[in-house]
Structure 1
Amino acid sequence: MNTRITELLGIKHPIIQGGMAWVAEHHLAAAVSEAGGLGLIGGANAPAEVVREEIRKAKALTKKPIGVNVMLLSPHADEIAKVVVEEGIGVVTTGAGNPEKYIEMWKAAGVKIIPVVASVALAKRMERYGADAVVAEGCESGGHIGEQTTMTLVPQVVDAVSIPVIAAGGIGDGRGIAAAFMLGAEAVQIGTRFVVSDESIVHENYKQRIIKAKDIDSAVTGRSHGHPVRCLRNQMTREYVKLEQEGKSFEELEYLTLGKLREAVQEGDITNGTVMAGQIAGMIYKKQTCKEMIDEMMEQAEKLLNR
């Protein structure tokens, strides 16, 4: 399935793995790239040298393209932006902010720039500043979210820009990929399904929480303060939402979530940790290798698109 995205990135399948904090490390990124997609190293809040080491470890596992997700709110974003160039990374995705100040440096180094956007206005702005493509991410996705759904956001972004659009949010099988293509996308970004892959270093408790999730198990915290985050319901989300309803300030609530994603991912605390996952968690019922996931999704998508 060739698209402008597969040609731009030099990949076989139009599937990009999300740059999930604490999850998107070298084992997962290399496995997705080896399977024909584009694996990403998630920069998150990690120091630049940690990201550099992750890039080098991924490159030792695969000769295929890998990318880096630069989280622009990170205190280390400036240094990570330089590491991307120094380590010869060919593509970056960006989240949680505006990457404009890095675009000139990245362009000069031949880096392909793909910002994640949650609105038409930001997509158009990114195109004006030289982005090579955009990820239009709907609110069905896990982690930090916007307000538009994938079904409504993707076609509006496709209509508003001439660069390729990658759909994200609520996509976890071939049906979702086919639907995204019908909306005008030329690739998809997938996060939650890859969390339960065999190569994912996420704690088994976290994987099983996703696998056992039902359709109604998704919760959003932080809406009242403009920082909505989608995760799976647990004791922490119930407490957070209760305090939000009582009108507590962002500062009063922050202690509930500080360090809680790491506790869930690495230590397996799925009661008080932050179990970030998209609404498609209810569709995920088995662990597989990244290759098995990608092959299964692409086979299903191609059958549907060739009907």
Structure 2
Amino acid sequence: MALRTEFTELMGITHPIVSAPMGGVAGGALAAAVSEGGGLGLVGGSRADTEWVERELRIVTERTEKPWGIGFLAWGAGLEAVERALAFGPRAVLVGFGDPRPIAELVRAAGAALIVMVTDMAEAEQAMAVGADVIVAQGTESGGHGARQGRSTLTFVPAVVDRAGATPVLAAGGIADGRGLAAVLTLGAAGALVGTRFQASLEALADPYTAKAVLEAHGEDTERSALLDIVRDSDWPSRYTARTLTHPILDRWRGRDDELARDSAAKQEYLRAVDSGELPQTVWASEAVDLIGSLEPAADLVATLAADAETALRRATGR
């Protein structure tokens, strides 16, 4: 059984698997490895300085001739940075978390496919209105940022599929093995966007502490909150919170978001404590961390996800 979908046909790839453009983690080496493995690798272009992005884009173009892409935050990406990235010739550009229209115009002019990530039905409607080539429906199980009042992948993905019509939909949120990929394909998705599983890959730009934390964590060790954005004075829009592993800041300030926002001394102390090693770093992680037990080459992960999904689908159908 070959997992051919509308998405694999559109992108010219072998497997309906996309690596998430995780900021600071999804560099050129990871994106190239995923693409070489038959998926679609995405470089995390948002919030990073232009020099970093261009260095990573040079890496991906040097290491693969297969389709690859880049992701941007709709609310935080400068149009000049997007234009410079498009000059490297990505096959696709993912835009999420905000109004995609300004970036969409540049993507279309460059001839790349426009992928829009959505976290609720209003954003799905906006993606359809802007003419997205592909929509990513992100469930609240996902690691990193997502909707403050999100819906689960199991219910949200088919709702977006029904609304999207002929537009391919990818599922995101809590997908870390072939069973998850098989499940979302049966929901009508044309593939999956996978983050945390690729964060625990050899090519990811994750430090040893983060990799070890992901490998040892369980789903109940994760929590969705705005506190770690607030304490860092991050300018993420308030409608989006982040799922991370448990952290002392969450235990100390839970339910006191507004108080922490006003406490400049607490924020300064947090930065000092992280720099000195007294407090751990923030680790973005999905509820699917239970399913991640080893660091693997990203290309091998793509192959394993695809093969295990085929096995799961055959088992489910009795074939």
Structure 2 counterpart of 1:275: 283
Correspondence for 1:116: 117
Q: Which residue of 1 aligns with 2:312?
A: 304
User: Is residue 154 of structure 2 the alignment partner of residue 151 of structure 1?
Assistant: yes
Distance 1:130 1:227 in 2: 23
RMSD between aligned residues: 2.6
- 2:187 corresponds to 1:171: no
Change (3 A) 1:140 1:27: same
1:40 aligned partner: 42
Match of 2:56 in 1: 54
For 1:250 and 1:82, the matched residues in 2 are separated by 35
- Displacement after TM superposition at 1:249 (Å): 5.4
| Matched-pair identity in % | 33
Residue 234 (structure 2) aligns with:
none
Match of 1:30 in 2: 32
CA distance in 2, matches of 1:201, 1:268: 21
Distance, in Å, in 2 between the alignment partners of 1:258 and 1:292 is 42
For the structure 1 residues 253 and 273, does the alpha-carbon distance in structure 2 shift closer, same or farther, using more than 3 Å as the test?
farther
- Residues in 2 aligned to 1:2 and 1:32: alpha-carbon distance in whole angstroms: 17
Q: Is the 8 A contact 1:203 1:268 kept in 2?
A: no
Query: For 2:254, what is the secondary structure of its paired residue?
Result: helix
1:1-307 pair list within 5 angstroms? 1-74=3-76, 76-146=77-147, 147-162=150-165, 163-222=167-226, 226-241=239-254, 243-244=256-257, 247-248=258-259, 250-252=261-263, 256=267, 271-306=279-314, 307=317
How has the CA–CA distance of structure 1 residues 140 and 24 changed in structure 2, closer, same or farther, with 3 Å as cutoff? Answer: same
Q: Which whole-Å deviations, capped at 9, do the CAs of 1:244-270 have from their partners, x for residues lacking one?
A: 3xx51535489759997xx99xx9969
Offset from partner CA, 1:85-134 (integer Å, 9 cap, x none) = 22222200012211102222321221100011011222122122111011
Identify if the C-alpha distance between structure 1 residues 54 and 235 changes in structure 2 by more than 3 Å, giving closer, same or farther.
same
Residue 21 of structure 1 aligns to a residue in which SS? coil
How has the CA–CA distance of structure 1 residues 54 and 160 changed in structure 2, closer, same or farther, with 3 Å as cutoff?
same
**1:34–1:258 CA distance, 2 compared to 1 (3 A):** farther
Displacement of 1:53: 2.2
Structure 1 residue matching 2:111: 3-state secondary structure? coil
Cα offsets for 1:262-292 (capped at 9, x unmatched): x99xx99694321111111122111111122
Q: CA deviation at 1:192?
A: 0.3
Q: 1:139 to 1:91 in 2, by over 3 A?
A: same
Q: Aligned AA for 2:29?
A: H
Is the contact between residue 117 and residue 134 of structure 1 (CA under 8 Å) also seen in structure 2?
yes
Does the Cα contact within 8 Å between 1:257 and 1:274 map onto a contact in 2?
A: no
- Paired AA for residue 113 in structure 2: K
Residues 1:101 and 1:258: Cα distance change in structure 2 (over 3 Å): farther
Alignment gaps of 5+ in structure 2: 231-237
Structure 1: how far apart are the matches of 2:265 and 2:94?
27
Shift of 1:68: 0.5
SS state at 2:201 partner: coil
SS at 2:220's partner residue?
coil
Cα pair distance change 1:58/1:46, threshold 3 Å:
same
Counterpart AA for 2:282:
T
Equivalenced residue count is 300
Distance (Å, rounded) in 2 between the aligned partners of 1:281 and 1:257: 31
User: For 1:273 and 1:254, how far apart are their aligned partners in 2?
Assistant: 19
Q: Does structure 2 retain, via aligned residues, the 8 Å contact 1:215–1:279?
A: yes
Structure 1 position 44, deviation (Å): 2.0
TM-score normalised by the chain length of structure 1: 0.90
For structure 1, which segment, 95-104 or 34-43, has the greater mean C-alpha deviation from structure 2 after superposition?
Answer: 95-104
Instruction: Decide whether aligned partners of structure 1 residues 217 and 131 sit closer, same or farther in structure 2, where only a CA change above 3 A counts.
Output: same
Change (3 A) 1:142 1:172: same
Structure 1: tracts of 5 or more residues without a match:
none
